[in-house]
């Protein structure tokens, strides 16, 4: 790297390939070098081996790659890892209890809200954030909240019912 860029890195204005990234992933602090072009999804899947977060369309259409950034659902395929420096990331692994399943995950199982399962992590992360913000969402609020997550198997009805059931049961 040119020395000018290196000098600027000291005041935080420039990110170079040598810049390090400090984030928290599922409660664990991560501190590692990260080039500017690294996408958060690639960092999670390829560098940190957190492969629960799926790569679907890779263009923001399908929602399979949804993670929480400071509690907010975010498309990790359209997020530069460097731009979440010092933020807290929660993936599907992070919303899953160490033993067993969350209320929402159990509801997905009980309602058959998952078939091939590829989109399921994205739905679970999106719905977890929804229930955090609105513990008792209406059906139309659920439909709206998951409208950025595509499922090609279920036809959505069972997913909506599972989220409704989890809301009734309380997280």
The upper half-sphere exposure of residue 7, i.e. CA atoms within 13 Å in the direction of its Cβ, equals 3
Per-residue x/- marks for other proteins, 58-97, CB under 8 A? Answer: xxxx-x--x-----xxxx--xxx-xx--------------
In the bound state with other proteins, the residue whose beta carbon lies nearer, of 110 and 157, is 157
Q: What is the spatial distance between Cα 123 and Cα 79, in angstroms, rounded to a whole number?
A: 18
Under DSSP, the state recorded for 62 is: S
Token pair for residue 47? 């560098």
CB 18, min distance to other proteins, A:
12
Work out whether strand 88-90 and strand 20-25 pair parallel, antiparallel, or are unpaired. Answer: parallel
Residue 159 makes contact with other proteins by CB under 8 A:
no
Tokens describing residue 50:
């957190």
Question: Would you count residue 44 as binding other proteins (CB under 8 A)?
Answer: no
Binding residues for other proteins restricted to 116-135, rule: CB under 8 A: 126
Contact 40, 31 (CB under 8 A): no
Q: Which is nearer to other proteins, 13 or 98 (CB)?
A: 13
CB atoms within 10 A of CB 12: 9
Shortest Cβ 78–other proteins spacing (Å): 5
Q: Do the Cβ atoms of 34 and 48 come closer than 8 Å?
A: no
Q: How many residues bind other proteins (CB under 8 A)?
A: 33
Residues that bind other proteins (CB under 8 A): 5, 12-17, 35-37, 39, 42, 58-61, 63, 66, 72-75, 78-80, 82-83, 126, 144-145, 147-149
């Amino acid at each position: 790297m040119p020395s000018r860029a290196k000098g600027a890195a000291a005041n935080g204005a420039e990110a170079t390939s040598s810049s390090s990234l400090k984030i928290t992933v599922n409660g664990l602090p991560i501190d590692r070098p990260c080039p500017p072009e690294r996408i958060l999804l690639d960092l999670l899947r390829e560098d940190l081996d957190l492969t629960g977060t799926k790569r679907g369309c890779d263009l923001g259409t399908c929602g399979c790659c949804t993670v929480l950034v400071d509690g907010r659902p975010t498309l990790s395929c359209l997020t530069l890892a460097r731009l979440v420096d010092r933020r807290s990331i929660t993936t599907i692994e992070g919303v899953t209890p160490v033993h067993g399943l969350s209320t929402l995950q159990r509801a997905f199982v009980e309602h058959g809200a998952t078939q091939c399962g590829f989109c399921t992590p994205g739905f679970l992360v999106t719905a977890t954030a929804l229930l955090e913000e609105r513990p008792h969402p209406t059906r139309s609020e659920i439909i709206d909240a998951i409208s950025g997550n595509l499922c090609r198997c279920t036809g959505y009805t069972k997913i909506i019912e599972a989220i409704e059931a989890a809301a009734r049961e309380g997280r």
